[in-house]
Chain A
């Protein structure tokens, strides 16, 4: 097989670490009065102030975490895994665009649609990919 552009296996744990770490950070931030910058009107002063930086940090942590989890190698990366990966990615794009288009038509709040777009495809991809791998392993017939 040709080399794939995937992260090493341990990036999966790093990724989950980032995703988990972003939760208490966000909670602490919110409790200190930080609000989602998307809820504020965008002006020049709102860029790169404490709240904006905080938002960037937590959002990046979450998105990068999901990215690492989604694109970390499996223990045994072969052509069937590759096939399932692509198939899951295709479904994730379908779902993402359905949600995106429906929300574009029915919701006027475009900033939050963007935020949704940040994690829906990755999260859906991870769930779908894990699910097909789980089903694959469960369907293993015993050797004849």
Chain B
């Protein structure tokens, strides 16, 4: 699964730490999600989408092979 959290963060001008705090996880988790090493749970994905006030599909998208 791919995501454009990094881009969305840049638009909203918040750091990984800010986002991590807003959704209640560690900065490591946000970092690994951004680099596609960890796939978040649906709950966390929805929380992240909530922070950016966008629908889930605009932030997370399936890759070929998923």
Contacts and interface: CB of A to CB of B under 8 A. Distances in A.
A137 B27 CA distance: 10
Contacts, number: 35
Chain A interface main SS type: loop
Contact of A79 (B16, B25, B35): B25
Interface of B: 6, 10, 15-16, 24-29, 31-32, 35, 37-38, 40-41, 43-44
B24 A80 contact: no
A143 B44 contact: no
B47 to A, nearest CB: 11
A140 B31 contact: yes
Nearest to A84: B38
Contacts of B31: 140-141
Contacts of A144: 6, 10
Nearest to A79: B41
Contacts of A79: 25, 29, 40-41, 43-44
